[in-house]
């Protein structure tokens, strides 16, 4: 008997997903628990496995389409199995499921009857904008022309820039090369980042305070313990030290571990540290270290390694990017000295760590060379004032400089 593939609930508060990539197509065989498709939610890409073995009989959602929890994604069954009993199921046609000529003539002109199935929506948009569908590259299943394909084509024409003829055949819905510019369409992750950043700047009055920390003791401790950690399978990074210092700072000044509400400032009991992680050109994601105040340096380093690796290999679960109460962004990895990070709402603040550099400093009226780093703390001025923000940052600096 055929098996329905439904959108699973991937975490608390996750009510919908965006289908990003089908790993199998209609007619392909698949084994139970083998990855069937990739979906995105809260900037996390997640693979959905097949609930049963068999053949893909029907795919019900296009790539880029938003699907709610419980909605039908696909049907798996035996080869040749009839699925008429699933009435009302909307499917993408396979190459063998061409609509009849009568059906096609309802939406197509005679010159377009060799394009395969064209939905009424696609045909309507094409007619309204005078689009010759023969010039549109289809990106749907089996080359089907989708609504997004036609909309992208119409938008590209509005740019009033002629496409180089030699490049026309290479157009995709994600990258459009024009005679002077290249338009890269927004990915779900990029759209999510943009919306969250704009919302954050509109929500909180951002204020920046910067201090400089001497990492001499940290670098010495790391050099002395790096090999020991490696024997336990853990890479001892500077990020683990910064996270541990933040924990001490948040314990000393709990108001920094808070969120603004209309009723008052909500002080969080748990210290859940977000760790901004770059995904390269795709953007960034912020996995969360839950109950970070219970972790030793070894446990912190192990957790940092695990979350960073799974973030970059798209193995995070949606719950692992939720519930953060404070965030660290180590922008120094790319060479930046200091920055003005954007608060990860609804948190009170975010700490940016710049690149460590050996610089000349004055210590006890003597000139010395020390490994220095800038700490950039951006805070919500509704919750903290300059003095209280500086007290927290000074505590973080103190822990780093006096590590033992």
Q: Identify the three-state secondary structure at position 186.
A: coil
- C-alpha distances (whole Å) from 175 to each of 74, 161, 178, 192, 217 are 28, 15, 10, 19, 48
Task: pLDDT band for 181, please (50, 70, 90 cuts).
Answer: confident
pLDDT, residue 56, reads 94
Q: Is 175 left (phi over 0), alpha (psi -120 to 50) or beta?
A: beta
Q: Identify the three-state secondary structure at position 4.
A: strand
Span 134-153, average pLDDT: 77
What would the pLDDT profile of 323-342 be if each residue is shown by its tens digit? 999 999 999 998 999 899 99
Taking a C-beta distance cutoff of 8 angstroms, is the pair 56, 30 a contact?
Answer: yes
The question of whether 381 is a catalytic residue gets the answer yes
Q: Is the pLDDT of residue 13 over 60?
A: yes
The secondary structure of 111-179 as a DSSP string is GGTTS----HHHHHHHHHHT--GGGSPP-SGGGPPPHHHHHHHHHHHHTT-PPPHHHHTT--SSEEE-S
The question of whether 385 is a catalytic residue gets the answer yes
Beta strands in 187-292 (DSSP E): 206-214, 258-260, 265-267, 273-278, 284-285, 288-289
Task: pLDDT band for 87, please (50, 70, 90 cuts).
Answer: very low
Beta strands 206-214; 366-380: pairing state: antiparallel
Of 364, 380, 381, 390, the catalytic one is: 381
What would the pLDDT profile of 278-292 be if each residue is shown by its tens digit? 888 778 899 999 999
Measured between alpha carbons, how far is 69 from 251 in angstroms, rounded to an integer? 39
> Nearest CA to 209 among 22, 23, 396?
396
Measured between alpha carbons, how far is 283 from 280 in angstroms, rounded to an integer? 6
Q: Which two tokens stand for residue 64?
A: 């880029």
Measured between alpha carbons, how far is 47 from 35 in angstroms, rounded to an integer? 6
What would the pLDDT profile of 40-74 be if each residue is shown by its tens digit? 887 788 889 999 999 999 999 988 888 998 999 99
Taking a C-beta distance cutoff of 8 angstroms, is the pair 3, 83 a contact?
Answer: no
pLDDT, residue 167, reads 43
Span 71-84, average pLDDT: 86
Mean pLDDT comparison of 12-16, 336-340, 350-354, highest-scoring range: 350-354
Query: Mean pLDDT for the chain?
Result: 84
pLDDT, residue 315, reads 85
Of 114, 129, 385, 390, the catalytic one is: 385
Q: Is the pLDDT of residue 169 over 70?
A: no
């Amino acid at each position: 008997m055929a098996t329905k593939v439904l959108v699973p609930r991937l975490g608390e508060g996750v009510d919908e997903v965006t289908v990003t990539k089908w790993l199998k197509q209609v007619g392909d065989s698949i084994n139970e628990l083998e990855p069937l498709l990739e979906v995105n939610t809260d900037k996390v890409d997640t693979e959905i496995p097949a609930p049963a073995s068999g053949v893909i009989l029907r795919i019900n959602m296009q790539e880029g389409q938003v699907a709610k929890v419980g909605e039908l994604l696909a049907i798996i069954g035996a080869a040749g199995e009839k699925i008429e009993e699933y009435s009302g199921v909307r499917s993408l046609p396979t190459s063998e499921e061409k609509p009849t000529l009568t059906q096609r003539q309802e939406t197509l002109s005679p010159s377009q009857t060799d394009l395969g199935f064209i939905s009424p929506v696609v045909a309507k948009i094409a007619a309204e904008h005078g689009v010759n569908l023969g010039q549109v590259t289809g990106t749907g299943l089996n080359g089907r022309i989708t609504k997004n394909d036609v909309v992208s084509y119409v938008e590209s024409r509005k740019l009033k820039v002629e496409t180089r003829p030699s490049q026309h055949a290479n157009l995709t819905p994600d990258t459009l090369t024009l005679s002077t510019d290249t338009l890269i369409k927004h990915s779900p992750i990029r759209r999510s980042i943009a919306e969250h950043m704009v919302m954050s700047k509109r929500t909180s009055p951002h204020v920046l305070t910067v201090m400089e920390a001497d990492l001499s003791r940290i670098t010495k401790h790391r050099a002395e313990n790096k090999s020991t950690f490696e024997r336990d399978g853990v890479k001892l990074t500077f990020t683990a030290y910064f996270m541990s210092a933040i924990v001490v700072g948040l314990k000393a000044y709990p108001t920094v571990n808070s969120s603004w509400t209309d009723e008052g400032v909500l002080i969080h009991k748990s210290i859940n540290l977000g760790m901004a992680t770059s995904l390269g050109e795709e953007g960034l994601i912020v996995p969360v270290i839950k109950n970070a105040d219970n972790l030793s340096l070894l446990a912190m380093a192990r957790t940092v390694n695990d979350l960073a690796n799974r973030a970059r290999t798209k193995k995070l679960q949606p719950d692992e990017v939720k519930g953060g109460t404070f965030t660290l962004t180590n922008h120094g990895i790319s060479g930046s000295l200091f920055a003005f990070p954007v608060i990860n709402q609804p948190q009170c603040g975010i700490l940016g760590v710049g690149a460590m550099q050996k610089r000349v400093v004055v210590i006890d009226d003597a000139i010395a060379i020390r490994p220095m780093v800038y700490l950039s703390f951006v805070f919500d001025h509704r919750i903290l004032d300059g003095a209280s923000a500086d007290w927290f940052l000074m505590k973080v600096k103190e822990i780093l400089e006096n590590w033992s």
